[in-house]
Amino acid sequence: MCINVQPKIKNLKSIKYTIALVAIMIISGSYSKAQENRVIVDEIISKIDNYIILKSDLERSYMSYLSNGNQASAGAKCRILAQLISGKLMVAKAEIDSVIVSDEEVDNNLDRRMQLILSQYGGSEEQLEQYYGKTVEEIQNDIRDDIKEQLVVQRMQDEILKGIRVTPAEVKRFFNNIPTDSLPYFSTEVEVAQIVKQPTISNERKNELKLKLSKLADRVRAGESFEALAKEYSQGPSAKYGGNLGFTQRGAMAPQFEANALKLKPMEISEPFETSFGIHIVQLLERRGNEYNSRHIILIPDPKEEDINKTKKSLDSLKSLIEHDSISFQKAAAEYSDDKATAGSGGYFTDETGGLKVSVENLDPVIFFTLDSMNVGDISQPITFRQDDGKEAVRILYYKSKVAPHQANLKDDWQKIQSATLNEKKSRVLNEWFNKARNDVFISIDKQYDYCGIMN
């Protein structure tokens, strides 16, 4: 008998998720109110040494699977049960093999998870506790063991898969074994890169905003509500929560923000200061060990027209250098682009495998329509646009190549097929490991899930 955690591979899309079938599930990555409220008559449906899987574990994971837009099916529930069993098997085997995750690692991960959860409630512990009907400590206790198991599973996988690579011959053999009628069909793909420059904001404009924030601080000191003013004037995402950021670990915020916040006494308000995000005033609410609770008002300075024009001229000069082969687009992007997400790849947008060919369906519509007016090989004129953080910036685009809609092939899709081959190999290695590891632990599964064939 063995635990078969390797599903039948039908196409490259399913291959992409193979490795996920051996990971313990904390599917949502956060605490789910819907899951907490769902009433399930619980029972143990599987035992793996000293570990158990409850029916509620399976049902919650299945509900999360469905909430991501997946179709309901008995097969999906079986695969999720196999995932849960695989995760518990890894944890049990980790005890035998003395694979250890330190309490410090768990606590650090728990802190980050709690910060993520708190951010969904404006950083307010009171709002979080009111919503869940539990204290923050109780919520932490609820998820701590799951986080520890998740880290143990990840460490076990890293050890098992260490050094796994694929050769070009393996990639070709893998591709040739896929039935022709199972090969995926890819939409139009492009290779496109960008160099982004953020206009330098004039000191005059910064001083205007600092003066405005000083007046807001004075209004708070005179008795007005900080939260009301934050809701009215702040331009950050915390504005709707009255500027409240909740308890934050030291080192989590921008250095300038933390320095200004921590030199205050509780309820004091800082003078205006600048970070890479904008101009702030901050009010310290409370300090507690290595954490502090604060709220702020942020104003994001928009560049003036002359600032944008200077940036356009700078990018136009850089474009000229590239077109005259004085510097490559990739090197220019790495050295000069302010967009860190693409600068590391020479300015290129990448897909989920790290490949440079990106489906036009996944492109920003603004980029898509810009490319529609360009020829392959062109570099665009400097274009003004809004970044994800709302700041105005300027960029040039390089339209390197275009691949028409096509069925998967080695020439056009090497990166994707290589990634799929590697995932399949990792899945096979993990499956072999499970077949051996099952002999070291006790495994039982409730008969109601015999139809899944997990132990066949």
The pLDDT value recorded for residue 122 is 64
- Digit-by-digit pLDDT tens for the chain (456 residues) are 333 343 333 334 333 333 333 333 333 333 444 344 444 458 999 999 989 999 998 999 999 899 888 888 888 999 999 889 988 999 999 988 888 888 888 888 888 888 777 777 766 677 778 888 888 888 888 888 889 988 999 999 999 999 999 999 999 999 999 999 899 999 999 999 999 999 998 898 999 999 999 999 999 999 999 999 999 999 988 898 899 988 888 888 899 999 999 999 999 999 999 998 899 999 999 998 888 999 999 999 888 899 999 999 999 999 999 999 999 999 999 999 999 999 999 999 998 888 899 999 989 999 999 999 999 999 999 999 988 877 889 999 999 999 999 999 999 899 999 999 999 999 899 888 888 888 888 999 999 999 998 877
Residues 212, 293 share a domain = yes
**Cα 310 from Cα 203, distance rounded (Å):** 15
Residues 355, 246 share a domain = no
- Residue that has been written with the tokens 């997400």 in this structure: 341
The pLDDT value recorded for residue 139 is 86
Residues 151, 64 share a domain = yes
Distances (CA, A) of 34 to 30, 64, 76, 222: 12, 10, 21, 43
Residue 18 lies in a domain: yes
Residues 190, 78 share a domain = no
Residues 339, 212 share a domain = no
Residues 6+ apart with CB under 8 A from 181: none
**Cα 410 from Cα 168, distance rounded (Å):** 11
CA 24 remoteness from chain centre: 18
Dihedral sign from CA coordinates of 217, 220, 226, 228: negative
Residues 386, 433 share a domain = no
* Three-class SS state of 385: strand
Determine contact, residues 55/407, Cβ cutoff 8 Å. no
**Cα 264 from Cα 226, distance rounded (Å):** 16
The pLDDT value recorded for residue 128 is 79
Residue 373 lies in a domain: yes
Determine contact, residues 210/279, Cβ cutoff 8 Å. yes
Residues 359, 276 share a domain = no
How many folded domains does the chain comprise? 3
Q: What's the chain's length in residues?
A: 456
Alpha helices in 263-328 (DSSP H): 305-323
Residue 162 lies in a domain: yes
**Residue 242 structural domain:** 203-299
Residue 1 lies in a domain: no
- Mark residue 28 as left, alpha or beta (left: phi above 0; alpha: psi -120 to 50; beta: remaining): alpha
Determine contact, residues 35/431, Cβ cutoff 8 Å. no
CATH code at position 335:
3.10.50.40
The pLDDT value recorded for residue 123 is 62
